[in-house]
Amino acid sequence: MYVKKFLFKLVTDVSNKNGSGKIPKKDIWNAYFQMEDEKTHNQQTGKHYFQSKNELFDALEQMVADDLIMIDGADVFLTSG
């Protein structure tokens, strides 16, 4: 649950920064990659939320299944759920 909450906040922050509901996946990865190290650690496990870009993209796919976001190619869109 912490991972989805963290990732949803990250997607929302990137969306707000870009000023668009269309968020390139690469922008989400870049935002995560540029975060301070302590902010990328899961409080439950003490490990990084994502070890690779593929792990982050897999978590985005799980959020699609939960109807939190939509993915169209290389872009992510927030849904009203």
Which residues form the domain of 13?
2-78
Predicted TM-score (pTM) of the model is 0.90
Please say if the pLDDT value at position 2 is more than 90.
no
Q: Are 47 and 30 contacting, i.e. CB atoms less than 8 angstroms apart? A: no
pLDDT band per the 50, 70, 90 thresholds, residue 27: very high
Number of domains in the chain: 1
For the segment 3-13, the average pLDDT, to the nearest whole number, is 94
Place of tokens 């963290």: 6
- CATH number, domain of 8, equals 1.10.10
pLDDT of residue 43: 85
What's the CA angle centered on 16, arms 1 and 73, to 5 degrees?
A: 70
β-strand pairing of 75-78 with 69-72: antiparallel
pLDDT of 37-78, one tens digit each?
Answer: 999 999 889 899 999 999 999 999 999 999 999 999 999 999
